[in-house]
Structure 1
């Protein structure tokens, strides 16, 4: 069995065209006749994709139309885990090979529609569809360069040639004196799209929208300016000393946060703003050094981001925490001018009974 296998390999190597390389891989290319998938080198050798992402792209490309390619569906089909599959799909989506969009079906359900393109860069180079223009007869004489005019809303009909109607006019003459001078053969009319000299100028053509819009912005997209570091209301010497000491002491608890003197001087006002808002030093240390990325390459940048984004609000005062008192308006008592009884009213005068009796007596 081993001898036959080595003989077959030797025979296959002998059929490889050209001299064999002294080192490196040697390809034995046998054409496929069924069950194969064409994969471009732009995907197989993409410098920005990992080997896992390229492998899943090839697997997705080989699946039939309508196959579920979600994270859980791929995890049930292949031995890789869900986290590895999700990371590979995110890589393919960032480059443009994979697109996921939520659409609403006619019955009202919302589904996620997944589209895989084997060559996303080709979508941006597709030619723009030209407007339909029917064929028109060509003039025999050289015509001036036609100017483009906007397409008509109805299809143009070809103009019938005038030559067959002009020839019988010369044959039907009866008297020599009545025969007019032979007119020169008129040239056929040029197409309607090029004859009018006073045609309006065509509107500026709007660039066609690209058929493929990547969901991830390109690396050349403008970035927002970074937020400024928080500053204390008053940077006293005591606050500055405590802030610099806290920053210099971070390496004692977490060696990855070893800062330079320049970094400590730049970040000290932000730490002073935290201390001014009555944040405890151990709380600040925990917030700044908790769960750092591995490997931590720029500790000063991470501290600058956390000091800016995670800044706590000032502590409320005693008057802010006091429950507001509901004021109740009390109508005072008044003494009736008629019967001297007490009744509630905002203005002095008579009570209700006295006002009624006085009105009846006046009537």
Structure 2
């Protein structure tokens, strides 16, 4: 009989069940209370009951846990200083979608050497999320693989669906069941409609194939995620953070009977992936918010201890401490000055504690 299965599969290794890893690296009651509070604050900003600006800021990707922890400790101090005008949430990105080839993130390749120790990567990711929460900083990540949330979602305060996966039915369904607010980026082309369609799908009940807490294939039924929102990140034709693009996006959301609120990514195509242009993009976003565009509820920044980016090569030896190995990031000093500057422009918020149903 001819062989018809696994013709191109070398190995198929079972992962620890999600519940096993949660027991191994547990969340404490303090973690759970902090995550719930942070999610509630983010939802209040999305619904307009908290007038602060939501800023998702941090490394493009986490590859060095020591440097990441140092960044979180610095961000904790800054977040406290600007807390009346901005809610700072740290980018803790462990999965990186690749256009062709490249390092796929800490979960997939935690040792940066191509050994693809995914169980080890999941443990590192879960442990690092706890470390960030212990600093008193809310966490944000992109959910790329639909299995990953079962391992890390309980320690995540906000998540994103990226430009490369926003048109994926699998990711729209997954987002409908996530327990935290989810931002959907416009497509890599710059088109906003795919993200709007994704939001419409994610806010509705869905049924799909997934994985249970004990690691078995399962049928997942969801309620839909009302805290789904649009992120403008630019596209192949250039930036889309200008007033005309923002106005058009807000009008499109209203046309589709969705809340007219947007987050704007000051990095990626909105700065041409040039970290030296990111501050000006952010300033223009804040200026629009201050001058009356209330639909802008948040912004995103890619920031690390050291500016720029470096090439990974074949191992982590020789890497510059605190510098990105994926997209370019602003350095810490620029980030701090930029957020202090923005805090000086934004009004002090009056917070009304009402969240999404």
Sort the TM-score into its range (normalised by shorter chain). Answer: under 0.3
TM-score normalised per structure 2: 0.17
TM-score normalised per structure 1: 0.17
